[in-house]
């Protein structure tokens, strides 16, 4: 705890706003994942046989590989802030589409949603750290990254104790609303260009 207190005290006045915004961003990214993951698991276990879990893990890995490769290629052609906006738009639209399609049935949608949550969680988290690495130099990172990591420690505490997400019905309705609103209003922090 002393390390975090020391990091907080070492923040420069010009860094406080960006550190707060980045910390809030990371908190919301992880909150999105921690809220969607139980919905994903519940839908899968209720509608499909638990013996299908190994298959969905393989499908997720097979989906993640080309998505990661495509993202890496796009990263070579586009600025990170524009790439984050494009990725965010794609994720928001696909999540809204899944929200409307899943109730129509079809076990393939449950497999797709399961894989989508895993890939989207990894993609958004890696985008966050790419942005952080672009914003801060090595000496700033030593002081600031522990503070950003604090957001990750707060998510499980808030998510588990939030009354808004305690019921099944509100959880299923809130996961799409909260993340879509958050992602559609999020603007990546630009560091130049």
pLDDT in tens, 52-74: 999 999 999 999 999 999 999 99
Across the chain, what does the average pLDDT equal? 80
Q: Tens digits of per-residue pLDDT, 2-37? A: 544 545 567 888 888 889 889 888 888 888 888 888
3-state SS class at 193? coil
Query: Which domain range does residue 167 map to?
Result: 2-185
Q: pLDDT at position 25, please? A: 87
In a domain, 192, yes or no: no
Q: How many domains does the chain have?
A: 1
In a domain, 190, yes or no: no
Q: Tens digits of per-residue pLDDT, 86-103? A: 998 999 999 999 989 988
Q: pLDDT at position 187, please? A: 47
Say yes or no to pLDDT of 121 above 70: yes
Alpha helices in 10-106 (DSSP H): 13-47, 53-77, 80-101
In a domain, 193, yes or no: no
* 19/5 Cα distance (integer angstroms): 14
* 113/8 Cα distance (integer angstroms): 39
Q: What is the mean pLDDT of residues 119-140?
A: 90
């Amino acid at each position: 705890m002393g390390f975090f207190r020391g990091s907080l005290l070492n923040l420069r006045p010009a860094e406080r706003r960006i550190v707060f915004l980045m910390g809030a961003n990371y908190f919301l990214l992880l909150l999105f994942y921690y809220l969607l993951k139980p919905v994903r698991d519940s839908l899968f276990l209720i509608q499909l046989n638990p013996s299908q879990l190994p298959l969905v893990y393989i499908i997720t890995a097979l989906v993640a590989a080309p998505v990661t490769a495509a993202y890496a290629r796009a990263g070579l052609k586009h600025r990170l802030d524009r790439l984050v906006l494009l990725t965010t738009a794609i994720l928001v639209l696909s999540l809204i589409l899944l929200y409307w399609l899943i109730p129509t049935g079809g076990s393939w949608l449950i497999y797709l949603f399961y894989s989508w949550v895993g890939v989207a969680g990894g993609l958004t988290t890696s985008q966050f750290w790419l942005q952080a690495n672009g914003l801060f130099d090595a000496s700033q990172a030593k002081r600031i990254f522990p503070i950003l990591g604090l957001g990750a420690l707060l998510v499980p505490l808030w998510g588990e104790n939030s009354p808004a997400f305690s019921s099944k019905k509100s959880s299923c309705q809130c996961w799409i609303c909260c993340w879509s609103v958050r992602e559609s209003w999020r603007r990546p922090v630009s560091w130049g260009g």
